[in-house]
A = this chain, B = another copy of it.
Amino acid sequence: MLTELDRPAQIARVLPANPVVAIVGATGAVGVELLNCLEGRNFPVKALKLLASARSAGKTLPFRGQDVVIEELTEASFAGVDVALFSAGSGISKKFAPIAVRAGAIVVDNSSAFRMEANVPLIVPEANEAALSAHQGVIANPNCVAAIATTALAPLHRAHPIRRLSLVTYQAASGAGAAAMEELRLATEAALKGETYPHKVLPHPYAFNFFSHNADMDPETGYNGEESKVVAETRRILSLPELPVGITCIRVPILRAHGMAISVEFDRVVSPEEARALLGAAPGVKVVDDRARNYFPMPVDASGGEDVLVGRLRPDTADPSGKTLAMFVVGDQLLKGAAQNAVQIAERLLPQ
């Protein structure tokens, strides 16, 4: 990410106890949640810089009872910044993350720009916190599906090695940003009135409709960019570079929580009871698996919450060996899928 020549004499490895925090992309759907997470999780903040495009400069966002003025992101923005949380797309990250590191900041990047770079750890604290210590100024925050899935899979994988994985997703509008959330609301409102809404943000009608994920499709493989990212990142987070992973990513008309039907094959039979016990003791996971009441993970329960909800734990009947477990997982796309995971990473850079 940084060439040898670019690299500053001293890369910041840990944060001071009371760091200066910058948020790049403060006005986006994830940016707003970064503010909420810093506040809600009592992250120590000496000073907060909100950075965005010139269009948003001068507006304010509230933080801990004060209005913070948004500044335009420039090459000079990172002087004195200890940690910069980036959520403004890959282009901005590629340009400004090296600048922030050279200015002495540690970058936690929510884009896909650096996620597969060897010297950039890709971190889900519940899954692979140990990998964090190798960072060289930039830490990558995973794709939302990979973050939510690995939070649920890591506690199982630690107990019994995973041999194969299948993911079929139910993905919310928020993954495509605040504008996509608004498009879902407006399109649905129009549909209920019998009107059609000219979609602009997403490539297909969204009201009462679902569709294959809008990321670019590889015409050779038949897999889209979202699916490729989830496969590569899940393998990396779980340290299973050869793991066979099947995946189908579908956008459903949901505002901000992602769901996924997961089938996971272990090297031995793992009972639902054992999986429930492992997950029940795992950080960041809440088991919601009430067969008697037919109550399982749902977006209405996951939205706005920090935990990844896991339920429908049962043997996958496609595998008569009993070694494959099926489950249904739902997590808030903007929180565990993005902002919360980034703030959790930053927390682990504070003096312990």
Seen from chain A, the residues whose Cβ lies within 8 Å of a Cβ on chain B are 164-166, 168, 170, 184-185, 188-189, 192, 203-205, 208-212, 214, 216-219, 221-224, 231, 244-248, 250, 252-255, 259, 261, 263, 272, 291-292, 294, 296, 298-300, 311-320, 324, 326, 328
Given A291-B217, A312-B212, A314-B222, are A170 and B250 also a contact pair (CB < 8 Å)? Answer: yes
8 Å CB contact of A210 from B298, B315, B319: B298
Q: Which residue of B lies closest to A207 (CB)?
A: B300
- The 10 A-B residue pairs with the shortest CB-CB distance, nearest first, are A246-B318, A222-B314, A168-B168, A212-B296, A248-B261, A168-B261, A219-B291, A246-B316, A209-B300, A166-B318
Question: A329 to nearest B CB, angstroms?
Answer: 11
Q: In the complex, which residues of chain B have a beta carbon less than 8 angstroms from the beta carbon of A214?
A: 294
**A165 near B300 (CB under 8 angstroms)?**
no
Q: In the complex, which residues of chain B have a beta carbon less than 8 angstroms from the beta carbon of A221?
A: 314
**B168 near A245 (CB under 8 angstroms)?**
no
Q: For the complex, what is the distance from the CA of A93 to the CA of B77, rounded to whole Å?
A: 72
Q: For the complex, what is the distance from the CA of A205 to the CA of B296, rounded to whole Å?
A: 13
Q: For the complex, what is the distance from the CA of A112 to the CA of B117, rounded to whole Å?
A: 54
8 Å CB contact of A318 from B224, B244, B292, B320: B244
Q: For the complex, what is the distance from the CA of A223 to the CA of B296, rounded to whole Å?
A: 12
**B261 near A250 (CB under 8 angstroms)?**
yes
**B317 near A272 (CB under 8 angstroms)?**
no
Given A214-B294, A216-B294, A272-B222, are A208 and B299 also a contact pair (CB < 8 Å)? Answer: yes
**B204 near A300 (CB under 8 angstroms)?**
yes
Question: A234 to nearest B CB, angstroms?
Answer: 12
Q: Which residue of B lies closest to A298 (CB)?
A: B211
Q: For the complex, what is the distance from the CA of A292 to the CA of B219, rounded to whole Å?
A: 6
Q: In the complex, which residues of chain B have a beta carbon less than 8 angstroms from the beta carbon of A211?
A: 296, 298
5 contacts between A and B (CB under 8 A): A189-B192, A204-B300, A209-B254, A211-B296, A211-B298
Q: For the complex, what is the distance from the CA of A219 to the CA of B291, rounded to whole Å?
A: 6
**B210 near A259 (CB under 8 angstroms)?**
yes
Q: For the complex, what is the distance from the CA of A24 to the CA of B173, rounded to whole Å?
A: 41
Q: Which residue of B lies closest to A221 (CB)?
A: B314
Q: Which residue of B lies closest to A302 (CB)?
A: B209
What would 9 more interface pairs be, CB under 8 Å, given A219-B292, A246-B319? A168-B168, A170-B252, A203-B294, A204-B298, A209-B299, A219-B291, A247-B317, A250-B259, A253-B254
Q: In the complex, which residues of chain B have a beta carbon less than 8 angstroms from the beta carbon of A244?
A: 317-320
Q: In the complex, which residues of chain B have a beta carbon less than 8 angstroms from the beta carbon of A292?
A: 217, 219
Q: In the complex, which residues of chain B have a beta carbon less than 8 angstroms from the beta carbon of A204?
A: 298, 300
**B166 near A294 (CB under 8 angstroms)?**
no
Q: In the complex, which residues of chain B have a beta carbon less than 8 angstroms from the beta carbon of A205?
A: 298, 300
Q: In the complex, which residues of chain B have a beta carbon less than 8 angstroms from the beta carbon of A299?
A: 208-210
Q: In the complex, which residues of chain B have a beta carbon less than 8 angstroms from the beta carbon of A165?
A: 318
Question: A100 to nearest B CB, angstroms?
Answer: 34
Q: In the complex, which residues of chain B have a beta carbon less than 8 angstroms from the beta carbon of A324?
A: 246
Q: In the complex, which residues of chain B have a beta carbon less than 8 angstroms from the beta carbon of A311?
A: 212
Question: A2 to nearest B CB, angstroms?
Answer: 33
Question: A279 to nearest B CB, angstroms?
Answer: 15
Q: For the complex, what is the distance from the CA of A294 to the CA of B298, rounded to whole Å?
A: 28
**A210 near B254 (CB under 8 angstroms)?**
yes
